[in-house]
Amino acid sequence: MRPFRIGVIADIHVGSMFGVWHPDAIPSYGGKYTLHIGQRYLWDNWLRIAREIPTLDMLVWNGDLIDGKQPRDSGRFLLEPEIIRQAEAFLMVAEPFQRRLRGRTYVLRGTRYHDEEDIAVETIGRELGAICDHYGRHSWDWLLLDVRGVKLDIAHAQSVMLRYVTTALEREGQFSDMAGLHADVIVRSHSHRPHWHYLEGANELPLRLEISTPAWQLATSYVLRGKAPNRAVLRNLGMVIIEIGEGVPMVRPFLFPHPPFRREEYQEVA
């Protein structure tokens, strides 16, 4: 049986100077924005991976698709300040992957910090023809799917841990069991750190697959000045494909390394 392929892409942060931006997108303030070296690196890999992946049966855009208003930074690192224009730019960015799809699209909302205005995410979902939730909206907070008898629990948010990264995902699996859902595949994003592992299965499958997806945003100023400066540096960016065939679901990662950046050095003081 040919496997059913589900692509999951998250944390693109369109509108951020550290995120993916289409080179032909026109910002709201006019003119043409020129990609800097890091964004060119992202865009080149975006197009490359869109060419390399197999045809998808389903595509899930799992939150933080746009960067929002960035109130904590007073919009300092935004290349596009208008939320609806970020959404329009995302639609241009999404097109290469949508061409690889022959089935359903789902759009999930990310954190309220980035997706604070639902109209932007809803616009994205409507324009992509995404499947509606039970309230008729084209975007979801939380998505439960049954694909060939395999139960998937997909959402954006999860706890973020710099160490013991498996713990956050294991908790999500425990919450699934506590809610009586007993998912076979747990998918979360938000942490920007790709990771997946198998644990003892919750249903008839012998193993449960738990996935934290990679991001498409370069390390930001927030990473370098956070509670643990310079420790949350990303190693890999990209996306994952979940293949559901006979037996245990499998992960096919499509990753590329985060580009090197200038490390801080000790300053000599006489």
Which CATH number characterizes residue 15's domain? 3.60.21.10
- Band (pLDDT 50/70/90 cuts) for residue 180 is very high
Cβ-based burial of 204 (10 A; exposed 0-12, middle 13-18, buried ≥19): exposed
269 in a structural domain:
no
264 in a structural domain:
no
225 in a structural domain:
yes
pLDDT in tens, 26-82: 999 988 899 999 999 999 999 999 999 999 999 999 999 999 888 777 788 999 999
The percent of residues in the chain predicted with pLDDT above 70, rounded, is: 93
- Torsion sign (Cα): 194, 200, 202, 207: positive
pLDDT in tens, 161-173: 777 778 888 999 8
Model pLDDT, residue 231: 62
Whether residue 60 contacts residue 143, with contact meaning beta carbons closer than 8 Å, is answered with yes
267 in a structural domain:
no
- Band (pLDDT 50/70/90 cuts) for residue 203 is confident
Model pLDDT, residue 112: 83
Mean pLDDT of 230-254: 89
Q: Is the pLDDT of residue 225 over 80?
A: no
Model pLDDT, residue 132: 96
Q: Is the pLDDT of residue 155 over 70?
A: yes
pLDDT in tens, 73-109: 778 899 999 999 999 999 999 999 999 999 999 999 9
265 in a structural domain:
no
270 in a structural domain:
no
234 in a structural domain:
yes
Model pLDDT, residue 92: 98
What's the mean per-residue pLDDT of the chain?
91
Q: Is the pLDDT of residue 227 over 80?
A: no
Query: Helical H runs in the chain?
Result: 37-52, 83-98, 118-127, 165-178, 221-225
Q: Which of 189, 6, 14 is nearest to 91 (CA)?
A: 14
The total domain count for the chain is 1
Model pLDDT, residue 228: 59
Model pLDDT, residue 230: 59
Structural domain range at position 166: 4-257
Model pLDDT, residue 117: 65
53 in a structural domain:
yes
Mean pLDDT of 206-229: 83
- Band (pLDDT 50/70/90 cuts) for residue 242 is very high
Dist. CA 115–CA 106, nearest whole Å: 16
Q: Which of 158, 184, 190, 152 is nearest to 172 (CA)?
A: 158
The one-letter amino acid code at 71 reads P
Dist. CA 185–CA 176, nearest whole Å: 10
State both tokens at 252.
């096919």
